[in-house]
Amino acid sequence: MSVMSLRLPKTMYDQLKRMAEAEGISMNHFVTLAIAEKIATLNTLDYLEERAQRGSREKLLAVLAKAPDVEPEEYDKL
């Protein structure tokens, strides 16, 4: 495991401390979870952008054309 020193403004530090206490976890664990969430979000965005590059309107319309033209079940209606 690596060690990192972090400097925070006092107001942010105080918020971090309160939030970690409210969650019942250490400040270190809270920061670790926050970083993990940010990394997951950015990785997901990259993945979706890459997938979008492989798609096309024509392919979408071709798939939709295969769907039957029927009314949805009652529980599926908005």
pLDDT digits (tens, 9 = 90+) for 46-69: 999 999 999 999 999 999 999 999
pLDDT digits (tens, 9 = 90+) for 16-25: 999 999 999 9
Encoded tokens for 19: 């939030």
Query: CB within 8 A of 19, min separation 6: which ones?
Result: 30
Domain that holds residue 19: 10-67
What pLDDT is attached to residue 28?
Answer: 96
Q: CA 71 to CA 78: how far, in whole Å?
A: 12
What pLDDT is attached to residue 60?
Answer: 92
What pLDDT is attached to residue 1?
Answer: 87
pLDDT digits (tens, 9 = 90+) for 29-49: 999 999 999 999 999 999 999
Number of domains in the chain: 1
pTM of structure: 0.66
Q: Is residue 73 part of a domain?
A: no
Q: Is residue 58 part of a domain?
A: yes
